[in-house]
Amino acid sequence: MLEELKEANEYIIGKIKEEDKLVLEMEEYAKEHNVPIVTKEVAEYLKFMIDINKSKNILEVGTAIGYSGILMGTVAKKYNGKLVTIEIDEERYKLAQENFKKSGLDNITSILGDATEEIKKLDEEFDFVFIDASKGHYMEFFNDSYKLLKKDGIIFIDNIMFRGYLYKEYPKRFKTIVRRLDEFINYLYENYNFTLVPFGDGIGLLKKED
């Protein structure tokens, strides 16, 4: 979470009343096992974006334990939509399958594999793409998924400001990731209808135009 907005985000989180037992259980599991999932305020914004765009065909890059997938799949179901989600880690993939089964959702297709390879195999169009996976590959995830995005489709990129390291001192081991993300953001601003939203850990939003 970006430190400058921490108090504001905590205020927003305090207003969110989650009643879904499975979602709450997944939040606790993620906290206990240090699994990265979207923050609650980002989750609310993600659901809102899908809802107002009435997205029917969603691609998720980075399933983790299925938390964001269940949130997106639930909203998409309102519009007879579906979700395709890709995860590289087998253990998390299996746990996500269990959570999807518990959710009762039948509109989620899961793929186990490296998204840098699996996205290229897809042969369908999407009207919404959610990217939240390996930061060092964000440019490749974006370029591959953009080719599958319908006109007026949205790409939602989470954690794009990487713990605030893009604008403050960072550990030397993150030098390459920070450089790549900074270059990626410049690329998006220069070439697309893109905006950067500074809450959660930074959200990048893009709309596909002609």
- Residue 159 assigned ligand-binding role: yes
DSSP-assigned states of every residue in 122-173: --S-EEEEEE-S-GGGHHHHHHHHHTTEEEEEEEEEESTTGGGTTTS---GG
117, 92 Cβ separation under 8 angstroms: no
CA separation for the pair 200, 210 (Å, rounded) = 30
- Residue 68 assigned ligand-binding role: yes
137, 118 Cβ separation under 8 angstroms: no
Instruction: Provide CB contacts within 8 A for 205, sequence distance 6+.
Output: 49, 154, 155, 156, 157, 194, 195, 196, 197
- Residue 114 assigned ligand-binding role: yes
- Residue 132 assigned ligand-binding role: yes
- Residue 103 assigned ligand-binding role: no
Instruction: Provide CB contacts within 8 A for 140, sequence distance 6+.
Output: 116
- Residue 55 assigned ligand-binding role: no
Backbone angles phi, psi at 107, to 5 degrees: -115, 25
Structure tokens at 165: 């390291």
- Residue 51 assigned ligand-binding role: no
- Residue 140 assigned ligand-binding role: no
Which residue ranges are tagged as binding site for Mg(2+)?
132, 158-159
Which residue ranges are tagged as binding site?
38, 68, 87, 114-115, 132, 158-159
Which residue ranges are tagged as binding site for S-adenosyl-L-methionine?
38, 68, 87, 114-115, 132
